[in-house]
Amino acid sequence: MTEKLQKTAITPATHTTPPAKFSHGVKKGNVLQVAGQVGFGPAVPGQAPTPVGPTLREQTLQTLRNVQAVLEEGGASWEDAMMVRVYLTDTGHFAEFNEIYNEFFAGLKEAPAARTTVYVGLPAGLLVEIDALAVLG
């Protein structure tokens, strides 16, 4: 009989408790799934999370840092990422997003992962959401 792998919820100290029944990340075996992250700044006790600013640049950089925080809390890095999914609210943001994304990952030898970009509706004030799948080891 095969031993069942344990599932572990991942929540960095910088993140608030999610508004619904989910985790910021879940690790099972050597697989880490990072839930969709947005451009909220670090958690402040007693305050609702808010976007770091109104621009795509501010929100994208914070969103990438938030994904990175979950990866690191789960024992991974961008180099372990296999898939990144990007959700934008405006098709006109695609080129600017790519510039910001490329700048953020300029230090990596190769692209962090395969990537998909789709267009969605997000809560008011949010422009981008990103999730990632990482395989450790």
The domain spanning residue 36 has which CATH number?
Answer: 3.30.1330.40
Give the pLDDT of residue 38: 97
Tell me what pLDDT residue 46 has: 86
Average pLDDT, the chain: 94
pLDDT class of 88 with cuts at 50, 70, 90: very high
Percent of the chain with pLDDT strictly greater than 70 = 99
Q: Looking at residue 132, what is its pLDDT?
A: 98
pLDDT in tens, 11-57: 999 998 888 889 999 999 999 999 999 999 998 888 889 999 999 99
Structure confidence by residue, pLDDT tens digits, 61-72:
999 999 999 999
Q: What band does 1 get if pLDDT is binned at 50, 70 and 90?
A: low
Pairing between strand 114-119 and 81-88?
A: parallel
Q: How many domains does the structure of the chain reveal?
A: 1
Is 95 within 8 Å of 64 (Cβ atoms)? no
pTM of structure:
0.94
pLDDT for 113 = 86
Range of the domain at 64: 5-133
Per-residue model confidence (pLDDT) at position 78: 95
First to last CA, the chain: 24
In whole angstroms, give the CA distance from residue 104 to residue 122: 23
The predicted pLDDT at position 27 comes to: 98
